[in-house]
Amino acid sequence: MKFCSDCGSLGLNVEMDAHGTALRYRCGRCQATHYRNPRLVAVCLAEWQGQVLLCRRGIEPGHGLWTLPGGYVEAGEPLQAAAARETMKEARAVVDELVLYRVYNLPKFNEVVAVFRGTLREGRFAVGEETLEASLWSKRDLPWDALAFEYSRAALHDFAMQRWQSVYASPVQDLVWLQPSVPKPSAGAAARPVTAPREPLRRRAAPESAQA
Ligand code: ZN
């Protein structure tokens, strides 16, 4: 934060709050206090017949890598609605019976990621906005070397291990080991095109018109 969004003053001070628990930006001119809260991200783990829907990103960060469809929650928007909206945007898919699956705290990015599980309606999807490709992946065939985000890796790991059936798997987890940069595919992954079709394990998205 470089200036006060209330009065435009550049005279911002960083002060400890009254409880001694958090640093606040406080304007020296108008005395406004500015809070810095985590950004919320809502993500879908959409299943169809034991497979999970992944999108290959068409934008940075993580261009060309696979991830669960998702994105930032808008102001006033319910979490699950944001997960459904982003899945429709990126994969042209409707997901039914959304239930909260995992929550990841990402303090390095000042973000909190909520992952919802649900069922892909009629198994239908297509390539949407900001997406190069959309595919269904079996648990045995997930693209571990070409995932965009650490929260995708964590959620897919639990999905692959079927850990949602365990009472010991906490639904809220800290991803404190995250590096600030997006991991790139390893040399081995680069040598093996991640887009290589492996039918029939993976069902690939047809153009949207063919899905309708
Ligand atoms: Zn001010």
Q: Read off the pLDDT of residues 74-113 as tens digits, 9 standing for 90 and up.
A: 999 999 999 999 999 999 999 999 999 999 999 889 999 9
Residue ranges of domains in the chain: 1-36, 39-206
Q: What tokens appear for 29 in the block?
A: 């001119």
- Prediction pTM value: 0.75
Work out the average pLDDT over 106-124.
94
Is 60 exceeded by the pLDDT of residue 67?
Answer: yes
DSSP at 73: P
- Residue range 33-49, pLDDT digits in tens: 998 889 999 999 999 99
Q: What is the mean pLDDT of the chain?
A: 83
- Residue 10 Cα to ligand 1 middle (Å): 8
- Residue 37 Cα to ligand 1 middle (Å): 19
- Residue 5 Cα to ligand 1 middle (Å): 7
- Residue 41 Cα to ligand 1 middle (Å): 29
Is 60 exceeded by the pLDDT of residue 211?
Answer: no
Closest to 157 measured CA to CA, from 198, 80, 104: 104
Is 80 exceeded by the pLDDT of residue 23?
Answer: yes
Is 80 exceeded by the pLDDT of residue 56?
Answer: yes
Could you give the residue ranges of the DSSP H alpha helices within the chain? 79-91, 150-161, 187-191, 208-211
CATH class, domain 1-36, is: mainly beta
Domain 39-206 annotated CATH 3.90.79.10: yes
- Residue 24 Cα to ligand 1 middle (Å): 13
- Residue 33 Cα to ligand 1 middle (Å): 8
- Residue 15 Cα to ligand 1 middle (Å): 14
